[in-house]
Amino acid sequence: FTSTRDFAFKIMSGEACTCILTFFRVIISLIIGIPLGILPGAITAIGVILITVFRYPANFYKTFKVTILTALLKKRLKFLVLLSLAIFQLIYPPIAVIVAVLVGIIGWCGFSVAETYNGHPPWKSWSKLGTPFKDYYKFHVQFYDEVLEAYNHPTGVPLNWNGVRYDIPQFGVVKTLMGVILTIYGFVTLLLGTIYILSIKYIFLHIRVLYLYIENLPTMFTCKKLPFLPFWFCGLALVIAIGPVLYVLAVMVSPLVGLRCPYIAITHGMNLKHGFKEGLRLLIMLDRGTYDFECNFRLLADRDLGLDYDPPARPDNANQYWDHFITNCKQVVKDTKEKGWITADDIEGAMPNVLTSVPAMAILKVILQSIEKDGGKEIIVWDDDHICDPKSNHSDDLVGFFWPKIRSIFKKLKKTPKEEQMYLMAQLCANSETNTEELNTALQVFDIEKEKKTKMHEISAEINGIVIVLMRMEQMQNRMSEFLI
Confidence of residue 81 (pLDDT cuts 50, 70, 90): confident
Query: CA 242 → CA 43, 49, 52, 98, 210, distances in Å?
Result: 20, 20, 23, 11, 11
pLDDT on residue 314 = 61
Interior CA angle at 259 toward 254 and 260, to 5°? 100
pLDDT on residue 14 = 52
Is the pLDDT higher at 376 or at 20?
Answer: 20
Residue 300 phi, psi dihedral angles, 5° rounding:
-130, 125
Confidence of residue 381 (pLDDT cuts 50, 70, 90): confident
Confidence of residue 1 (pLDDT cuts 50, 70, 90): very low
pLDDT on residue 51 = 92
Q: What would the mean pLDDT of 267-295 be, rounded to a whole number?
A: 86
DSSP H or E stretch at residue 44: helix 2-69
pLDDT on residue 226 = 83
Query: In this predicted structure, which of 17-26, 144-153, 295-304, 371-380 has the lowest mean pLDDT?
Result: 371-380
Bridge partners for 166 per DSSP: 73
Residue 473 phi, psi dihedral angles, 5° rounding:
-90, 145
Burial status of residue 441 (CB atoms within 10 A of its CB: 0-12, 13-18, 19 or more)? middle
Report percent pLDDT > 70 for the chain.
92
Among 124, 101, 98, 100, smallest CA distance to 111 is for 124
Is the pLDDT higher at 9 or at 137?
Answer: 137
pLDDT on residue 193 = 94
Cβ proximity of 204 and 295 under 8 Å: yes
Each residue of 318-332: pLDDT tens digit?
Answer: 678 888 889 999 999
Query: CA 83 → CA 30, 86, 87, 205, 355, distances in Å?
Result: 48, 5, 7, 34, 40
Each residue of 236-263: pLDDT tens digit?
Answer: 999 999 889 999 999 999 998 998 888 8
Dist. CA 446–CA 423, nearest whole Å? 5
Dist. CA 352–CA 338, nearest whole Å? 20
Kindly write down the DSSP assignment for every residue of 196-240, as one continuous string. Answer: HHHHHHHHHHHHHHHHHHHTTGGGG-STTTGGGHHHHHHHHHHHH
Cβ proximity of 439 and 340 under 8 Å: yes
Where do the H-state alpha helices sit in 373-449? 397-414, 418-429, 437-445
Interior CA angle at 318 toward 313 and 322, to 5°? 160
pLDDT on residue 9 = 41
Report percent pLDDT > 90 for the chain.
20
pLDDT on residue 395 = 62
Interior CA angle at 313 toward 311 and 314, to 5°? 110
Largest CA-CA distance found in the chain, in angstroms, rounded: 123
Dist. CA 441–CA 429, nearest whole Å? 13
Dist. CA 368–CA 402, nearest whole Å? 16
Among 246, 202, 253, smallest CA distance to 102 is for 246
Query: In this predicted structure, which of 33-47, 338-352, 375-389 has the lowest mean pLDDT?
Result: 375-389
Dist. CA 29–CA 119, nearest whole Å? 9
Confidence of residue 281 (pLDDT cuts 50, 70, 90): very high
Confidence of residue 359 (pLDDT cuts 50, 70, 90): very high
Looking at this protein, which amino acid is placed at residue 200?
Answer: I
Cβ proximity of 79 and 176 under 8 Å: yes
Q: How many Cβ atoms are within 10 Å of 477's Cβ, its own excluded?
A: 14
Q: How much is the mean pLDDT over the chain?
A: 85
Cβ proximity of 217 and 206 under 8 Å: no
Cβ proximity of 42 and 102 under 8 Å: no
Is the pLDDT higher at 173 or at 335?
Answer: 335
Bridge partners for 386 per DSSP: 383
Each residue of 171-192: pLDDT tens digit?
Answer: 566 777 787 888 889 999 999 9
Each residue of 52-61: pLDDT tens digit?
Answer: 999 999 989 9
Burial status of residue 333 (CB atoms within 10 A of its CB: 0-12, 13-18, 19 or more)? buried
Among 466, 472, 399, smallest CA distance to 428 is for 466
Among 415, 421, 414, 418, smallest CA distance to 456 is for 421
Looking at this protein, which amino acid is placed at residue 58?
Answer: A
Burial status of residue 461 (CB atoms within 10 A of its CB: 0-12, 13-18, 19 or more)? exposed
Each residue of 112-146: pLDDT tens digit?
Answer: 999 988 888 888 888 888 888 899 899 999 988 88
Query: From the centroid of its chain, how far is CA 323?
Result: 32
Cβ proximity of 143 and 59 under 8 Å: yes
Residue 388 phi, psi dihedral angles, 5° rounding:
-120, 130
Among 207, 224, 225, 204, smallest CA distance to 216 is for 225
Q: Is the pLDDT of residue 12 over 50?
A: no
pLDDT on residue 315 = 58
pTM for the model: 0.72
Cβ proximity of 460 and 396 under 8 Å: no
Q: Is the pLDDT of residue 374 over 90?
A: no
pLDDT on residue 376 = 61
pLDDT on residue 152 = 86
Q: Which residues 6+ apart lie within 8 Å of 108 measured at CB?
A: 37, 38, 40, 41, 44
